[in-house]
Amino acid sequence: MKPLHELTVAQIQQQLIEKKFSSREITQHYLNRIDTLNIDYNCFITVDTNGALTAADQADQAIAEGNSTPLLGVPIAHKDIFCTEGLTTTCGSKMLANFVSPYDATVVSKMKTAGAVMLGKTNMDEFAMGSSNETSFFGPVKNPWNLETVPGGSSGGSAAAVAAQLAPAATGTDTGGSIRQPAALCGITGIKPTYGRVSRYGMIAFASSLDQAGPMTKTAEDAAILLNSMSGLDYKDSTSLDTAVPDFTATLDESLAGLKIGIPKEYFDQRLDTAMADAVQASLAELEKLGAKLVDIELPNSALSVPAYYVIAPAEASSNLSRFDGVRYGYRCNEPEDLEDLYTRTRSEGFGEEVKRRILVGTYALSAGYYDAYYRKAQQIRRLIKDDFVRAFEQVDIIAGPTAPSTAFKFGAKTADPVAMYLEDIYTIAVNLAGLPAMSLPAGQLDNMPIGMQLVGNYFAEHKLLNVAHQFQLATQWHTPTPTSLKG
């Protein structure tokens, strides 16, 4: 029998039903691992030991009574951007270091309703702004594959927790690649659903037209299981879509015969490491063996996605983060002289450098005289990018390519050059601008570090992405290796 921490969510579900172990046993097992190993990885900001064991006992009671819910007794972790009643929600920032939410985010409440046991809250880039998890007020998260490298961001804590087997699954959020890029760098599976598929209520906003929550797991099957419970209309969220939620596990075993996969030439240019390109091409060849057909396509405006994003996202962030002023909640400076001093020192002391940089850029882009030149123009480019995808999906069923331009880089390698850091999301940002679903799955290794392959679908085509990913994972073993730091 496998050690408990090596089991997938699907396997945990089955073995809980068969009473091979209790929810308390597996929850305690993960809590013990977190207690022992989190010091090495810094994945968790908050661990809810008492709450987790209480929820596990309740799950065991429900199982004993013959009750059943989709995730009953399964331990998970939540990114510390989701509000959790009675537990700190920090967003990785000094600004919210002591903030205790009076309510649960919809994603959290849906997971509770499904029976999941929350282990704790995972570390993240401050207010989800970053691609390396180096901007967190609580210190950087370390990549379990190499402790000298970053796990990606902003959902780096969730990605590393799953990779390090400190949780079988975790939630994440994706504004410009923040589920997919860390999933790629940590060798796990992560999916960003269609914008509006999962409620944003109680998810602290970065860029409201781009943010979307999704699951981060070991396998595509596990991602489908979690997405079933996360999805659905929420009247508390005006951006939540009233569209039917299919059973994402029902189509996992469909054949890929005849599936058309678009390969954008723009994703395989000089910006992509040659060895990375070879690994992704080899994985695409595996999909061909499963019956898929590769079709060359073009996304001519994809090169404009990074500059457009870094006008739109900071503009929305400058608006969303204006609420943190020392008056209502969150950090407040000591002994302010007057209201202006309160605002100025609270925000200067409470926000980190990257957050302040983006607030300044966003405020400038929205200011009188520059709105048309920057923000409006960026939104026009956003529409061109969306139209590229619309035309592409007239020819193909899904689009595939690399998730990130390189494997995990070392700490400090890009912190002095914000543009270099922003370019880490060059293959993921366009998807958020268009509001499409996309996912990353392990597709090879380079120098013993994971490589991710990105799959992009048409609107509400999460089932196709998960089907392709599941069939790929049945035919390959790239999702199964254990990080070097865990061996022995």
DSSP string, 207-250: STTT-EEEEEESSHHHHHHHHHHHBS--TT-TT--------TTT
Bridging pattern class, strands 260-264 and 293-297: parallel
440 pLDDT more than 80 = yes
Using only C-alpha atoms, the chain has a radius of gyration, in whole angstroms, of 21
239 pLDDT more than 60 = yes
Please say if 154 is a catalytic residue.
Answer: yes
Give residue 5's pLDDT: 96
Structure-model confidence comparison of residues 269 and 325, the more confident one: 325
**Set 136, 178, 199, 302: catalytic member:** 178
488 pLDDT more than 60 = no
% the chain with pLDDT above 90: 93
DSSP string, 193-216: PPTTSB--TTB--SSTTT-EEEEE
Angstrom distance (rounded) from CA 292 to CA 197: 27
Q: By three-state DSSP, how is residue 192 classified?
A: strand
Bridging pattern class, strands 189-192 and 260-264: unpaired
487 pLDDT more than 60 = no
DSSP string, 260-309: EEEEEGGGGSTTS-HHHHHHHHHHHHHHHHTT-EEEEE--TTGGGHHHHH
Angstrom distance (rounded) from CA 138 to CA 122: 11
Averaged pLDDT, 369-397: 95
Does residue 13 contact residue 226 with C-beta atoms inside 8 Å?
Answer: no
Please say if 260 is a catalytic residue.
Answer: no
Which domains, and CATH codes, for the chain?
4-259+470-486 (3.90.1300.10)
Q: By three-state DSSP, how is residue 253 classified?
A: coil
Q: How confident is the model at residue 185 (pLDDT cuts 50, 70, 90)?
A: very high
Read off the amino acid at residue 349: E
User: What is the average pLDDT score of the chain?
Assistant: 96
Averaged pLDDT, 373-398: 97
**Set 131, 154, 155, 283: catalytic member:** 154
Cis preceding-peptide flag for 154 (omega within 30 of 0): yes
Averaged pLDDT, 391-411: 96
Averaged pLDDT, 157-186: 98
Give residue 486's pLDDT: 76
Angstrom distance (rounded) from CA 230 to CA 196: 11
Instruction: Name the pTM for this structure.
Output: 0.96
Give residue 3's pLDDT: 92
**Set 79, 142, 218, 414: catalytic member:** 79
* Nearest to 55, CA basis, from 33, 37, 76: 76
Q: How confident is the model at residue 190 (pLDDT cuts 50, 70, 90)?
A: very high
**Helices 9-17 and 49-64 sit at what angle, rounded to 10 degrees?**
50
Averaged pLDDT, 270-286: 92
Read off the amino acid at residue 70: P
Q: How confident is the model at residue 484 (pLDDT cuts 50, 70, 90)?
A: confident
Structure-model confidence comparison of residues 325 and 273, the more confident one: 325
Angstrom distance (rounded) from CA 362 to CA 91: 20
